[in-house]
Amino acid sequence: MAKRANSSKAGASGLPLGPDSRIVLLTGKEHFLRSGYTDQLREMLNESEGGEVEVVRFDGDSTPAAEVLDECRSFGLMVTHKMVVVDEADRLLNESSRPAFERYAEQPADTATLVLRAEKWNKGKLDKLIEKCGTIIKCDQIPPERAVSWCGGRANKRGASMQARAAQLLVERVGPDLGRLASEIDKLISAAAADGTDPITITEGHVREFVGLSREEQVWTIQEVLLTGRADAAIAMLHELVEVSRVSEVLIRFAYVDLARKLHGYARGIASGVPAQQLNKSLRLWGASAGSVARAAQIASPSALARLFDEAVEADFRGKTSQGDAVLALEALSVRFAQVLRARR
């Protein structure tokens, strides 16, 4: 067994990810990272063992704990080492089964690597035992600004480059989910390659042309229009979302409430002397939207934005309880946004 060392993976603890890890715990909502680390570990084991290791997979939601541990302890017929992968591991390790895994972690089999993967995980005694014989890596979703940098790196690994603005626009449209971003980048590289440029470069134009918005994602575009203070443009966008894109009125109302909340929160924060960077982080603002909200929040007073927030919440409540025409209520709310945000223009 190798000596304990700090893992090179961000947010990791225990041994470095590699063939010396007898138990590997991968936790977090980022499925792409969990899968990526699993593939990386398998390649390391193949190289260490001088051939393909056997991979056995279990569903933690439906597999008895004893079956998983028996598989770890049993010898393979055709290979000298096996990798036992358990998905939904948090559902497998409950109050009754966790002691068995703790005993196994105290003396894990040398011929197996147990990989536990889960979105959620309750820390306990087992974590400390795993750190002695293996690796724990958090696979949390990365923030948007890091996702932008990741996109550039992903493109480079695929033999292409990606403009900074193109990466930012892609994250704005797709979100920071690495799996979706990877899929879109591969598609964009193919599109950019067809242009015949050398080197292959993904531009903002490629993203706009080949990465569309889903119905749910389209609804957030109305926030950009509301921030301009133009009631006519906001109402036109509202009808386009409802009549053309067929976006749920529930989602549209939520977009109005969300924007009113951010504006009010930013205005109050600025009035209290909170740094803009801290406000952006707490309100989850980044990129161009951060600047737009900051500028709009300084047009009206915190009290006016507080009333606007109350009106947005009231409109949402009335819509949920079927009080009045939902679209007319949103039209009226669009006018109120314009009145408040144009107050000092």
162 forms beta bridges with 202
CB 107 within 8 A of CB 49: no
Are 247 and 194 in the same domain? no
Name the nearest CA neighbour of 41 among 142, 148, 117. Answer: 117
Phi, psi of 203 (to 5 degrees): -105, 170
Q: At what angle do helices 98-106 and 65-73 cross, to 10 degrees?
A: 20
Can you give the residue range of the structural domain that contains 265? 215-341
The H-assigned helical ranges of 194-248 are: 204-210, 215-218, 221-226, 231-239
Domain CATH number, residue 170: 1.10.8.60
> Which of helix, strand or coil describes residue 60?
coil
C-alpha to C-alpha distance for 63 and 157, rounded to whole angstroms: 38
Same domain, 312 and 246: yes
Whether residues 277 and 191 fall in one domain: no
Please check whether residues 168 and 106 belong to one and the same domain: no
Final residue in a domain of this structure, among 177, 210, 243? 210
Same domain, 60 and 133: yes
Q: What pLDDT is attached to residue 7?
A: 47
Distance CA 125, CA 147 (A): 33
Q: What is the pLDDT of residues 19-48, one digit of tens each?
A: 999 999 999 999 999 999 999 999 999 999
Tally the domains of the chain.
Answer: 3
Q: Which of 80, 85, 93, 95 is nearest to 115 (CA)?
A: 85
Q: Judge if 301 and 183 occupy the same domain.
A: no
Q: Distance (Å, rounded) from C-alpha 171 to C-alpha 176?
A: 6
Q: Name the β-bridge partners of 112.
A: 82
Return the structure tokens found at 75: 């010898």
Q: Furthest-apart CA pair in the chain: how many Å?
A: 78
Same domain, 318 and 225: yes
Predicted model pTM = 0.62
Rounded alpha-carbon distances, angstroms, from residue 304 to 6, 231, 268: 52, 17, 11
Asked if residue 1 is part of any domain, the answer here is no
- Select from 151, 144, 246, 262 the least CA-distant residue to 203: 151
pLDDT recorded at residue 13: 82
**Quick one: which of 219, 224, 141 has its CA closest to 180?**
141
Looking at the fold, whether 80 and 160 belong to one and the same domain comes out as: no
Q: Are 267 and 302 in contact (CB under 8 A)?
A: yes
Quote the radius of gyration of the chain (alpha carbons, Å).
26
Please tell me whether residues 66 and 83 are part of one structural domain: yes
Q: Are residues 186 and 269 in the same domain?
A: no
Q: What is the pLDDT of residue 6?
A: 42
- 132 in a structural domain: yes
* 7 occurs within a structural domain: no
pLDDT by position in tens, the chain (length 345): 333 334 446 567 888 999 999 999 999 999 999 999 999 999 999 999 888 889 999 999 899 999 999 999 987 666 678 999 999 999 999 889 999 999 999 999 999 999 999 999 989 999 999 999 999 999 998 888 899 999 999 999 999 999 999 999 898 888 888 999 999 999 999 999 988 878 899 999 999 888 876 655 667 788 889 998 899 999 999 998 888 777 788 888 998 998 999 999 988 888 888 888 888 788 777 766 677 888 888 888 889 999 999 999 999 998 888 888 989 999 999 999 999 987 544
Give the total residue count for the chain: 345
Comparing CA positions, the residue from 45, 71, 46 lying closest to residue 58 is 71
Confidence (pLDDT) at 50: 85
